[in-house]
Amino acid sequence: MLILIALSAHEAAHLFSALLLNIKFDKVKITLFGFNLNADLDNTYFIKKIILFVSGPVCNAFLYLGFRNTEYSDFADINIFLACINMIPIVPLDGGNICKTVLEIFLNLKSVCRYIIMTNTFFVVCFLIIIYIYRNYLYFLLIIMALKGIIEENKNLLEKSITNNYSKLKI
């Protein structure tokens, strides 16, 4: 039950940030990986995207600080765990989206997508090693998230490639 409260606070922080930053979205989807704001972030300033992505982990960190020395220290521990897990640099986690946003400043879309695919693949291998050594099967959820990110980035690459080729044909 405590983890559901922590997850809800995390996602509410993202939603509040989107509203505060005037980031337009047309719906909120509930997925296995939390809530997903269906927003077009392609035309959003990078600083707004970073604030949006960091708001969830920051909320969890503040909840940790607020409850760590109380009778609700278990709730505090769950929040710091969520904050740390969400900062792992794999897409679709917040840490991966922050990395992707920063890379988009310096690199073209194709390079960013390739970097994200390589990073997610690296973490899949790391999580498999952790599972093998420690027999901690919780990491399968992170593997699923990383694989989902790889699929999404490949889809983004394909969509952008088709869009670019189509626009060249129209000229």
Is residue 154 over pLDDT 80?
A: yes
Yes or no: say if 91 and 151 are a contact pair by the CB < 8 Å rule: no
Query: Rounded CA gap, 131 and 112, in Å?
Result: 28
Phi and psi angles of residue 42, each rounded to the nearest 5 degrees, phi first: -60, -35
Give, in order, the Cα–Cα distances in Å from 26 to each of 16, 97, 109, 118, 161. 15, 20, 24, 31, 25
Identify whether 97 is part of a domain.
Answer: no
Do 14 and 48 belong to one domain?
A: yes
Identify whether 92 is part of a domain.
Answer: no
Do 15 and 77 belong to one domain?
A: yes
Do 112 and 54 belong to one domain?
A: no
Domain count across the chain: 2
Is residue 35 over pLDDT 80?
A: no
Mean pLDDT of the chain: 90
Is residue 38 over pLDDT 90?
A: no
**Nearest residue to 86 (alpha-carbon basis) of 58, 63, 65:** 58
Which residues span the domain enclosing 158?
Answer: 107-171
Using the 3D structure, point to which of 26, 54, 87 is the last residue of a domain: 87
Residue 66 is which amino acid? G
- Whole-number percent of the chain with pLDDT over 70: 96
Identify whether 44 is part of a domain.
Answer: yes
Is residue 33 over pLDDT 70?
A: no
Using the 3D structure, point to which of 40, 58, 87 is the last residue of a domain: 87
Radius of gyration of the chain (CA): 18
Query: Rounded CA gap, 7 and 83, in Å?
Result: 10
Instruction: Give SS3 for 56.
Output: helix
pLDDT digits over 46-83, tens only?
A: 999 999 999 999 999 999 999 999 999 999 999 999 99
Identify whether 101 is part of a domain.
Answer: no
DSSP string for residues in 138-170: THHHHHHHHHHHHHHHHHHHHHHHHHHHHHHHH
